[in-house]
Every structure is written in structure tokens, then in C-alpha cells.
Chains A and B, each alone.
Chain A
Amino acid sequence: MLHEEKLSSEKHFQSVGDFCCGADSPLDTFLSCQAFKYDEQRYGITYILTASEEEDEILGFYTLKTSGIQVEEDGEYNSIPVIEIARIAMNHSMQGQGIGKYVFYTYILPKIEKVADIVAVKGIIAFVEPDDEQAIGFYTSVGFQKATEDVQKEIEDSFNEKCDLYMVSFDNVEV
């Protein structure tokens, strides 16, 4: 088992700088330079994973936030409530061995289930870079599907970063 806790600027301000999921990965920079700010602003809550409560070395992290997918049908607008896995990364020594899946089912999914008991959650989404085969493999292995080209085209016209939308229904969970 890994120890998990919320990112804390008081406790983790040094260890975030040592996290490495890959050479010059933007995810490393996100954790060390951005995650604290987004926690404070409540734009994204980041959880870190260590070997134990006493240890500082961050072995992985993920950031969750709420989101919505607006759709218009016959003049009627709806906002589909979803949870977004905004960021997820494992230390390079932990990659490619099914540990990301373990983190999803053991830590991420139970949190979403708790939230879904209280407020409406229709699905889970993530944005993935088209050439990130490892991330694509991870998300598809747990059930995510890549949105169709019609959807990707819409996102391409108003995106923050070129990436593909992946999503999975939260209605049909078999765990």
C-alpha cells in the first residue's frame, strides 16, 4: 500500500521539487510550480503518494477537479457534470507496471464514488496528448474511450493545449 495525503505547502514544499516522472516533463513542473497555487485557489486538489506517512519522497500524484460538458439539443442547454482527472503522474521507477491502474482504482475512484453519493456525477474525463502512448494505454485499460473526431474538432478550436478528450461513464461501475 502507498500512503496518500493531500498536497500541503507546509509539508511538501521541498519534496515536490524532487519528483520526477520523466526528463523535463511538464508534469514535474506542474507539481513543483503550480499545484500549490491551484490548491489554494480551489481550481484543482492534488493528492500525493509516498511510501509511508513518515517519508517525504513523492512517488506519484494526481489532481482532481469538477468540470462540465455543455451540450445543446434542440435549443435546450444542459451541463453534464463530470469529474476531471486533471493531472496524474507516477515517479519514473513506478511506471509501466500497473501501478497507475492501482492508483486509479484504490485512490481516485473511491473519491469520485464518495462525491457521486452527494452531488451528480455523470462521468470522468481526462485530456491526453495524442502521442502519449503510456497515458492512452492507461486510460483505455480502465475503460475510458476517446471522444469522436466531431468532439475533438470542437476542442481543437478552443483549447488550452492540443490533446484528446477521453471519458468514461460513471453509471456503470463494476469494481
Chain B
Amino acid sequence: MCEENEKRVTTKEGKSMAVSMAVIPTLRGKAANSVLETLSTSKIKPYSPEAKADAEKMINEILQKRDNK
């Protein structure tokens, strides 16, 4: 099955079979500065207990529907 799938994929899809979809060459100048800036100022957003509870409820509902089929 894997051989069939790999033959079927287009060149674009075939390229995405590497673990990483891209590699980053050495950055200089503006590109380097912007990466350093982003990695200084960006922030992982908080995840509230309510959002987590909502997601768990959704997961349970999906799994129950699946089990009831």
C-alpha cells in the first residue's frame, strides 16, 4: 500500500515526505533580525481550564457518537 501511495502522490506531495517540510538556511541581515525579534516578543497564549474542559467534553461527545454507530 505504501508503494502505491507513494507512486500516486504528485511531485509536490512527494517532496513533503521528509520529516521537515523545509529547512532554513543561515539567515543574515533583516531576516536574522526579524527571527531574533519574533523569538523575543512572541508568546504562547494561555489556555484556560474552561477551554480545556470544553475540548474534553467535545472529545467525549465525538467518541460516544462513534461508539453508538
Contact = CB atoms under 8 A, between A and B. Distances in A.
Given A99-B59, A174-B43, A160 B20 contact: yes
Q: In the complex, which of the residues A65, A151, A163 has the most CB atoms of chain B within 10 Å of its own CB atom?
A: A151
B39 A80 contact: yes
Nearest to A102: B55
Interface residues of chain B: helix, strand, loop or mixed (majority): helix
A86 B19 contact: yes
Given A51-B63, A80-B35, A151-B31, A161 B55 contact: no
A169 B41 CA distance: 7
A69 interface: yes
Interface in A141-175: 141-145, 147-148, 150-151, 153-155, 157-163, 165, 167-175
B44 A155 contact: no
Contact of B39 (A44, A122, A153): A122
B2 A158 contact: no
A110 B3 CA distance: 36
A154 B44 contact: no
A122 B39 CA distance: 7
Given A169-B41, A174-B43, A30 B24 contact: no
B62 A93 contact: yes
B19 A63 contact: yes
Contacts of B28: 71-73
B30 A123 contact: no
A105 B6 CA distance: 33
Contact of A102 (B25, B52, B66): B52
B10 to A, nearest CB: 9
Given A160-B15, A163-B22, A150 B30 contact: yes
A104 to B, nearest CB: 8
Nearest to A126: B21
Contacts of A171: 39-40
Contacts of A70: 24-27
A72 B32 contact: yes
Interface of A: 1-2, 17, 24, 26, 29-30, 32-34, 38, 43-44, 51, 63, 65, 67, 69-73, 77, 80, 84, 86-87, 93-94, 97-99, 101-102, 105-106, 109, 122-124, 127, 129, 141-145, 147-148, 150-151, 153-155, 157-163, 165, 167-175
